[in-house]
Amino acid sequence: MKLHLTRPLAIFDLEATGLNISKERIVEIAILKINTDGSEERFKSLVNPEITISEEVIKIHGISNEAIKDAPTFKELSARVIEFIGNADLAGYNSNKFDIPLLAEEFIRVGSDFDLSNRHFIDVQNIFHKMEQRTLSAAYQFYCKKELVDAHDAMNDTNATWEVLKSQLEKYDNLEQNIPFLAQFSLAGNLKSLDFAGRLVINEQGEGVYNFGKHKGKTIKEVHELEPGYYSWFISPNTDFPLYTKKKLREEMDKIKQQNKEEKVGSDDLNSQLAALKSKFSK
């Protein structure tokens, strides 16, 4: 098996204070970067989340408040993470739903404009679920014939995820050995998400669409015309939507406003031309 890489692939795993993307913080990050020549680089660090880790969560990943009290904060670590990832595509296990959205939130919180656009995102869990329906430990046993020791250690999970992905590529002939295909195959639904949380999606016409609640299935433009206050409510600090989702909604609304402005200018120009013709022929 030789995965075709046109740029590096960064496989990563996060341990956090909980599962709520908009509220939780990273406590450990591990990245395995596969370069285009096949060489590997690793990065791992504990992270001080600046909030208390609950005992319930500590029992899951084993990272205590004492262990991270002297660790760098994400703000202090962010420049090193950005430099290490570089222009790499991203992969992980359940990463499209958790790790990538949480990483995006952390970058926004610390004021870092790390560009996550124009990258491919491979979710090994989605590939696994489409093929076999299992957990990471079961996937590791199923594909690699090994027992995953010390699950929820970020680097152990990261290494296991890479081994599972390589085994998946060897096992399934219909999986193409390139990043764009795997990223597309990793999508959980039929529509491409505009944000990482899946609150916003893109329809076949390339329009932004709400993917939840009372306006599910309606375009952002349509909802804004029907209920202008919905956008303001969505992006307000009082709502619990992820920061990245709010950012992408603002970008879509800016596009809509620019499109409306261009259409108005075109309409005004047409009216001016019609008025000029009317005046000419009325003389």
pLDDT for res 223: 94
**Which structure tokens are listed for 207?**
């329009």
Please report, in angstroms and rounded to a whole number, the separation of the first and last CA atoms in the chain.
Answer: 80
Directed axis angle between helix 100-109 and helix 74-85, to 10°? 120
Regions of the chain with pLDDT less than 50: none
DSSP, residue by residue, the chain: ---B-SS-EEEEEEEES-S-TTT--EEEEEEEEE-TTS-EEEEEEE-B-SSPPPHHHHHHH---HHHHTTSPBHHHHHHHHHHHHTT-EEEESSIIIIIHHHHHHHHHHTT-----TT--EEEHHHHHHHHT---HHHHHHHHH----TTTT-HHHHHHHHHHHHHHHHHH-TTS-SBHHHHHHHH-SSSSEESSSSSSEEE-TTS-EEE-SGGGTTSBHHHHHHH-THHHHHHHSTTS-S-HHHHHHHHHHHHHHHHHHHHHHHHHHHHHHHHHHHHHHHH-
In one-letter notation, the amino acid at residue 169 is L
Residue-wise pLDDT for 80-108, tens only, equals 999 999 999 999 999 998 999 999 999 99
Which CATH architecture fits 9-188? 2-Layer Sandwich (3.30)
CA 63 to chain centre: 24
**Which structure tokens are listed for 86?**
């570089």
pLDDT for res 133: 58
Q: Which residues pair with 208 in a beta bridge?
A: 202
Rg of the chain over Cα atoms, rounded to whole angstroms, equals 23
| Distance, CA of 20 to CA of 17 (rounded, Å) | 9
Q: Who contacts 201 (Cβ-Cβ below 8 Å, separation ≥6)? A: 189, 191, 192, 193, 194, 208, 209, 211
Instruction: Considering the chain, tell me which residue range(s) the CATH 3.30.420.10 domain(s) occupy.
Output: 9-188
CA-nearest of 113, 126, 129, 166 to 144 is 166
**Which structure tokens are listed for 25?**
């913080």
pLDDT for res 169: 94
